[in-house]
Amino acid sequence: QVQLVESGGGLIQAGGSLRVSCAASGFTFIRSAMGWFRQAPGKEREFVAAINWSGGSIKYADSVKGRFTVSRDNAKKTVYLQMNSLKPEDTAVYYCAASTGYRGPYTEVYEYAYWGQGTQVTVSS
């Protein structure tokens, strides 16, 4: 049974930092490209960051480039999103996603087969 469990969300002041984690199980993590997406109230789910199987290829949305860093630990079957210089517009539910492909990084929702339940990140001004 595939499981993606996010953790680390919370309430943070603008300018602060937060790291969210996603622990994976039930599939071959090292063979999966991983991604982070977010969804704010009333908006569509949008791409944030993605990483290929080895961590050697990474993509970011323009809105987070230079502030967010995605990484993975294949031994721990965990992917991370380090978020710095947070802004109120970063407020959203953050979702971890796993692809059945290992290349990537993939930036579209349809390219991911499995999703976590999401973790809320709220940035106050």
pLDDT digits (tens, 9 = 90+) for 55-103: 999 999 999 999 999 999 999 999 999 999 999 999 999 999 999 888 8
Measure the CA–CA gap between 69 and 76, rounded to whole angstroms.
18
Measure the CA–CA gap between 123 and 125, rounded to whole angstroms.
7
Measure the CA–CA gap between 59 and 106, rounded to whole angstroms.
8
Look over the chain and give the mean of its residue pLDDT values, rounded to a whole number: 97
Is residue 109 classed as helix, strand or coil in its secondary structure? helix
Q: How much is the pLDDT for 101?
A: 85
pLDDT tens digits, one per residue of 3-62: 999 999 999 999 999 999 999 999 999 999 999 999 999 999 999 999 999 999 999 999
Is residue 63 within 8 Å of residue 77, measured between CB atoms?
A: no
Measure the CA–CA gap between 5 and 78, rounded to whole angstroms.
9
Paired residues of 119 in beta bridges: 94
